[in-house]
Amino acid sequence: MKDFEMPMDLKAALARGVEIESIAGRVFSHFQQCFAHDRGASSVFEKMSKEEGEHATVIQRQLDLIATMPEAFMAIDDAIRDRQQVLIARMHKILQEVAEYPPSLEKAVEICCELEKEIEDVHEQAITNLIQTTGKLAFATVALEAISFQDDHTEGLFDLARKLGVMRPRVEN
């Protein structure tokens, strides 16, 4: 950890979760606008954008629930912060790049599939580490767990990927 960085606490981890979901929503919204001429693709991106906004709201509500608890300030694994920071930086870079140079539909779908996989991985790591670290505050992971069990969230995106022949990232166990 760098000298100027504070240890990450539960509140910060959940706040970054809100940020991740919000940025993902902006990526999908951007692609929805880019591909407005393609009804099928546009509706997939619109659905994904809306759901990412809902995910951010769910995590924010969880954050609001624990915000007044002293235990929410307990230091947690810095690996969560590091993975979240890397993902957030990557997502900002993607937003900047696609704003300057709009990708093909195939590339946009590939980007979104990769982002969904990375978001899922970061949330799963956060859930595992938070449960191990916080003990009695394990309920604070409920929002992240609820999002991770929403199988139909990526269904339309992955169907579109199959139709376009876009390879999805492999699931690592």
Span 34-57, pLDDT tens digits: 999 999 999 999 999 999 999 899
Instruction: Give every CB contact of residue 124 below 8 A, 6+ residues apart in sequence.
Output: 148
Span 16-32, pLDDT tens digits: 999 999 999 999 999 99
Architecture of domain 10-163: Up-down Bundle (1.20)
Cβ(91)–Cβ(115) below 8 Å:
yes
Write the DSSP symbol of residue 78.
H
pTM above 0.85, yes or no: no
Q: Enter the tokens of residue 133.
A: 């670290």
Tell me how far apart the alpha carbons of residues 50 and 59 are, in angstroms, rounded to a whole number: 15
